[in-house]
Chain A
Amino acid sequence: MIEQMVKWELRRLFKNRKFKIAFTLQLLVILLIIPLFGSYVKALEEGGFFNLSIGGKGYLPIGISSEKNSLTDIISENKRFDIVWVEEKEGLELLRNGRISAFLVIEKEFEDKIRSYRSSKVEVYINNQNPKGVSAYSEINTILLGFRDGAIEARIRDLSIVEPNIELVSQSPLDNNTPSQNQTTQEQTTENVTNILDRPANFEEQIERTRKSFEDEQGGYIVLLVLLLPLFLSGGMLIDLLISEKERRTGEMLLALPMKREGIFYSKFISILAIILFQLLFWVVALYYFGRVTNPLIILPLTITAILLLSITGLIGVYSKNYKDSALIVTVTFILLFFLLFGTSTLYVAGLKEAAAISPLSLVIAIENGTYSLKEAAISILPSLSFSIILIYLSTVLYKKDEFYFGPRPSIQDLVFEFAGKLRLKNIVFSPYLIALIFGFIAIFISIIFEIFFGIIALYFTESIFAILFIWATIEELSKSIGIFSAKKYFPLKWHEGMLAGMTSGLGFALLEDIIFTAFALNLFPDHALRVFVTRTFLSGGIHIVSTGVIGIGISERKYLVPAFLAGILIHFIYNITILRGAL
């Protein structure tokens, strides 16, 4: 019967004109992307490095004080720059006023010196207060590095033993006896490009390492970029299949059919999976034909990623009441997933292979580079596959519930409550603690998402580790408190019961956090894994239990809500600082 339904769904999809157009376009995108990425890879191969600065024509206004030469020609070709040709004094004034984001002073004899393999000097002034200055610096730096490498290659070709030297000088306009009101750049040292010390040495090393990694792994990375697209494009189709049945009420007839309800869900899941697999196959074959894929085995981790994506979108489709409802959830989930999948694969090519191996997309790169092992494959595939199976199971559980079709749809809290109710341990009095425990588990995932997001923002604006630690403590305590609020929704809690619920939520959080940390420790520093586990269990575990227990008192006795929250966060924050100092 599922087979019949799959055939029907596929036929229905392929009879839909809009779908046919979208599907054909998706297939054809590959023809567009291959030359596009081909050029990109070529650019990488010719000495550039992966630049994440914001794009856009004329986005970065820069000033140049120089005669026209081969370097200015290359800079002029970069469409992101809007170049102003000025004298040195005028240029510094423009930089100070924020009219330009960077200013280059290239000495007059630059061309002659380069051509005769002598050292030459390029001074780069940037305004650190201007965010565009950082992007401009990154772009200019890329060009200068490429130019230097090109010059070296040319020199080597001429069999010269003397390495040409281009000096990159980053200076503040203040140093040029021009007082500034804008407090422009403070970079003052003059260093050889090959060892730029105007930024922290380890930072530069990191950039260099990343650049090399990208060059080494670029093939796999580009393939990954391309192949990730159809997966995301197809994700919405499953939601459409599930929600359209609800909105048009055609699903009512499916529920009347002599088949198990989960069979309906599976048939839709399989239909879309079949389409994704077809698309992936088409793209992989096309890329293989054009020489951008070396091992078609990459279809395996990509299929796992597709299943993961579909299991997430399937759950969203089952849970959502209508298109409107699903739109927001899907958008947020896809953005998070995109960053998660891309983040891990970027970590992989940047060298943090152990930490990134958990993503199936890292395996794509490894397969492409011929460096994969069975262990690596297992680490990449099993967590995603297990998570997908759990999500698919959850989807079928929800799909079997009448409320998800005929409403009113229960909230997540109601579902957890129902689950906790089923798990009652002899006496119903345990239910609030079970609810708190389950939400404690969930809280870790909520925390991770918000900690990454707000951590990056805090780092960008404050560069203070203390601010980050405080934000993290706040996020974790707020996440854990959801469990206590949920328990209180169903049971009137006295202060000591609130405290117990808080402690249980903290325990759930700490347990899962311990498992995650220990798993990472096992992967990265196996010798210290046991120490990590013990330390975390007794120190972090205790703190999570205590801090959330305090908050639990405040939630049950509303008059103490704010002080209890502040106290809980403070306990957590002080612990974070203590651990940091100990670690330092």
Chain B
Amino acid sequence: MIEFLDVSKFFGDHKALDNATIKIEDGTTIGIVGPNGAGKTTLIRLLCGILKPSKGQIIIDGMDLQKHPTEIKKIIGYLPEEPNLYERPKAGELLEYFGLLYGVPKEKINQRIDELLTLVGLSDRKDWKVSSFSKGMRQRLAISRALIHDPKIIVFDEPTMGLDPLTSRKIRDFIKTLKKDKTIILCTHYMYEAEQLCDKIAIIDKGKIKAYDTIENLKKIYIKEKTFKIGLKNMKKDILDRISLDKNLKVEERGENYLVIKARDYEDLNYVLREDVIYFEDLTPSLEEVFIELVGSKND
């Protein structure tokens, strides 16, 4: 369990994180989303013990991070926004260095390096210098570095940022494989990525956590009406009249043989759906709409 209790972080006069309180259960995947400069990276740097909180407490596995930083850092794997790799060493040497610093036994380190490099698809690049790696390869190597000590908690800061769609997908698929037995904190501003990978989402803006819940609940809370597009074989007058008189429904658009209707839920549409429906489409907004609802208008 990871607990942020009223955590604030100041840089000079600037408040990068403002009284953040959040609880993350073991084995869940949490998405931290927010606009640029919202405080996402500050939050995860605090979690990794890279920054020290100006106020508040971070409790991980029952231990206070401020009091037991070394013990806690051993169970955290961190992938920063930029891979931040040393250029000169070979991929294998780099992983060995970090492995040893994280306390991986010397006799097991080579086996672990081979496993990880195979997992991220770099098994044939073990003896290549990091400087010769492409951006995607660097990111995959950085992921291996974050996992070298088999951490219980893995923190990814924008893992697919600036990568081509194919590499991004590979990385997302890889994260999915990790989900089984790890607690994952994923910082991203790609909403579909968060929706795809995360169990819960924390929306952060201007240093404050605006919302923290499952995606479904967030949608329920922040999206009051759903939007549906219904194609009808016959646009009967009596149906159209009934819809226009129904307080629970609102016609947004009317085509030759279709309607775009806003409703609180499916049930309100029951009598419409009993007609000759050619097609039905749920246009209900995604997480992105929730995000825009929460932070968009203020940041415009």
Contacts and interface: CB of A to CB of B under 8 A. Distances in A.
Given A12-B89, A15-B88, A406 B73 contact: no
Interface stretch (B24-32, B74-82, B169-177, B193-201): B74-82
A369 to B, nearest CB: 46
A406 B44 CA distance: 14
B100 interface: yes
Nearest to B46: A402
Given A249-B84, A257-B73, A402 B97 contact: no
A253 B73 contact: no
B98 A253 contact: yes
Interface residues of B, number: 31
Nearest to A1: B101
A371 interface: no
Interface string B41-84: 00001001111100000000000000001111110101010101
Nearest to A400: B52
Nearest to B12: A408
B57 to A, nearest CB: 17
Interface string A567-582: 0000000000000000
A256 B86 contact: no
B105 interface: no
Given A5-B101, A249-B84, A256 B11 contact: no
Chain A: interface secondary structure?
Answer: loop
B102 interface: yes
A258 B12 contact: no
A9 to B, nearest CB: 10
B162 interface: no
Contact of A258 (B14, B73, B85, B86): B73
A334 to B, nearest CB: 27
A253 B80 contact: yes
Interface in B103-121: 103
B145 interface: yes
A457 B102 CA distance: 57
Interface string A389-429: 00000000000001100111010000000000000000000
Interface in A48-83: none
A255 B100 CA distance: 15
A202 interface: no
A21 interface: no
A311 to B, nearest CB: 25
Nearest to A403: B11
Interface of A: 1, 4-5, 8, 12, 15-16, 248-250, 252-253, 255-260, 402-403, 406-408, 410
A-B interface, 6 closest residue pairs, ranked by CB to CB distance from nearest = A258-B73, A258-B74, A255-B50, A258-B70, A256-B78, A249-B84
8 contacts: A4-B97, A4-B100, A15-B89, A252-B45, A256-B48, A256-B76, A258-B102, A407-B11
